Amino acid sequence: MSPQPSESRSSLPAVGLAACLLGAVLCPLIFVVLLGGVEMLRRRGGGLPPEFWSVTLPPLLISSGYLLYRFLRKPKEPTADGKRLIVKIASGLMAILSWLVIAAFVAIISKYPLNTPFEQAGISLTFFLLASLLSLPIVLMRKTALQQRLMQLPSGGATAALVLVVAISAVIAVVYLMSPARFIGDHKGSSTPSYLALGSLIHSDSSNITLRVEKYVDSVDVRNVGQDPITVKSVLFNDKPDCYVSKPSLSYPPIKLQFAGGAAFFSQCDVTQVTVETDQGSATFKFDR
């Protein structure tokens, strides 16, 4: 009996693509462990709010679990039964929905803390490569339905797709890991910061005050860059209470800032210094211009 086409092709590209697909499924779980797992276990209330996890985790776990089951089950012989066709269509639609849930979760979670679009791609692809590497032993030791389907692809096309995915992901990940950390406000399509000046900390009552302060034309943006929430009780510009402008349409102290949360405070003075009073103590920042 002559060998089947799938058996005559090299399985290496199929193994590599299978590891990449499993890595894409497992990638969000790395975000969950690093950003949410420790804080949730410690019950410290820091990081992203509990409501975020309660809304996003159930659909993510269901989607990831379904795709892992679909990919890692043992290969089956193809059948032409009508019922099987309906099942395949429903299974395909469920797979598409699961991928959309995973993509939406990664797009949201990769924004923290204050990541730029490039940093979102960088950290996501770094975790993707890590998860793919961890998935490689699984696909090497176990022949799965995923590999069976991937081995039906043309060998040249599968190899080219694998090289392209790994190369692009690796280049972006390396550039991201070698680049200094930047924030969303640092640039918008150029290397020039959109803010006028970045506040330099000159005094702080506590090391728990994790704030980033940026000066704009008529306001100062105060942002929490730490894991734990912090409440801004008041702001004082240039040691002059009359510099602060309260705008009814905007929030004003006290304001609780969650992980990566921020608030703008307006001033009628040329701000050279701002003191922020929080529930963790006070901190004073100075602007060079």
CATH (residue range 195-286): 2.60.40
Residue 289 and residue 3: Cα distance in Å, rounded? 75
Separation CA 288–CA 273 (nearest Å):
9
Average pLDDT across the chain, whole number:
79
Per-residue model confidence as pLDDT tens digits over 232-253: 888 888 888 888 766 544 556 7
pLDDT in the model for residue 189: 41
pLDDT on residue 5: 45
Which residue stretches of the chain have pLDDT < 70?
1-10, 35-50, 77-83, 112-115, 180-197, 245-252, 289
Burial 188-210 (b: 16+ CB within 10 A, else e): eeeeeeebebbbeeeebeeeebb
What pLDDT is stored for residue 64 in this prediction? 94
**Amino acid letter for position 116:** T
Report pLDDT for 9. Answer: 45
Residue 228 to residue 213: CA distance in whole angstroms: 17
Distance CA 106, CA 90 (A): 25
Enumerate the domain spans of the chain: 7-185, 195-286
Nearest C-alpha neighbor of 69 from the set 44, 102, 98: 98
pLDDT at 112: 64
The model carries a pTM of 0.61
